[in-house]
Amino acid sequence: MWREGYVSGGKTRFFVRALGSPSFGLDEGETPTEDLILLLHGWPQDSSSWRLVAPRLVEAGYRVACPDLKGFGRSDAPRKGYDPETLGDEIAQLIRNLHARRAIVVGHDWGGAVALATAFRHPGRVRALATASSPFRQIDLLAAWHIPLLNLPIVPEIAFRVAGRPLTRGVIRYAAVDDDVFPREVMDGYAAAVRAAPKGWLAYYRTLSRRALLDLAIRRVRHRTSFLSAPEGPHRLRVPTTVIWGEEDPATPFHLASQVARDLDATLIGIPGVGHFVHEEAPDAVATAILDLARWVERAERERARSQHHHHGHEQAV
């Protein structure tokens, strides 16, 4: 049974949907756990977008928390604080306030960017990471033509306040291969989430996308200018990482996926016949990918613990 409530992450109050027991925390005196999977949605959705994936994770023995991202739905939507550093700090604090030592963090679209910011800044809070249809250092503006439009002043705020529902439906129809998985009540919920505070979620485009475009421009200049060239290689995370991508994604095309996986030193899982909203179009495949990552981490942790125990016992014998 889903539980709903507010949990703070720094100065931001997040609206959280939780599944599994315990939900928002533990009884006083209990030890924080490591069985939490934190699911971060993208645009133009809210935390309910994980409604098909979360039950599968709970059946496997995990507890799941799905917050509305800052600026979306019922979470706070301040005017500032959408830089990667602040977003990562807030999610790390949210994990702590959900009474978890560490969490497996999964992010779709903008949620993937927030998950990455958290993992880079707070690897001690992130047990493992999965991103879904989420570019990293790679943007195809021919496909993601909405990014420049959403960087315009004033016009997007007015448009989504006046025509939030048809615009939301249009975006999802463009980016999904199978839009039959979005019934009217789901679409209405997403429209309400993006209409609530457009200035909030637009800040992701006006902060994170501009930084990404600047980084892309700098890398292209370096590539063409030998004396400015930077060493190639993965932008290494200190946590195990999986990249999930719909192979028919028209908004963030699949040709970006291999480079993202290389940059993150991650495992790539392509899902055929699926568009941008992989967790709703192919929930079984996405849940399986998350659980495979979780089980790999658990095996690695057990092996590391056995190795440390054996090494400690050998030292005592000596």
Q: Where are the domains of the chain?
A: 3-317
Which pTM was predicted? 0.88
Smallest Cα–Cα separation from 77: which of 67, 69, 88, 66?
69
Return d(Cα 210, Cα 204) in angstroms, integer.
9
Write down the pLDDT at residue 307.
77
Cis peptide before 44 (omega within 30 of 0): yes
Find all residues with CB under 8 Å of 132, minimum gap 6, and list them.
106, 107, 108, 109, 112, 243, 244, 245, 278, 279, 286
Smallest Cα–Cα separation from 77: which of 192, 172, 197, 240?
197
Return d(Cα 302, Cα 168) in angstroms, integer.
45
Fold of 3-317: Rossmann fold (3.40.50)
Phi, psi of 3 (to 5 degrees): -120, 145
Query: Which H or E run includes 107?
Result: strand 103-108
Give the helix ranges, DSSP H, for the chain: 54-59, 84-97, 110-121, 146-150, 155-175, 184-196, 198-204, 210-224, 257-264, 278-281, 283-317
Sheet holding 241-246, edge to edge: 3-9, 12-19, 63-67, 36-40, 103-108, 126-132, 241-246, 267-271
Write down the pLDDT at residue 54.
98
Q: Tokens standing for 126? A: 């992130």
Return d(Cα 36, Cα 94) in angstroms, integer.
12
**Is 209 in contact with 151 (CB distance < 8 Å)?**
yes
Phi, psi of 187 (to 5 degrees): -60, -40
pLDDT tens for the 318 residues of the chain, in order: 899 999 999 999 999 999 987 666 655 556 777 899 999 999 999 999 999 999 999 999 999 999 999 999 999 999 889 999 999 999 999 999 999 999 999 999 999 999 999 999 999 999 999 999 998 877 766 666 677 777 778 888 899 888 989 999 999 999 999 888 999 999 999 999 988 888 888 888 878 665 555 555 444 544 444 444 444 444 567 899 999 999 999 999 999 999 999 999 999 999 999 999 999 999 999 999 999 999 999 999 888 878 766 555 555 555
Number of Cβ within a 10 Å radius of residue 253: 20
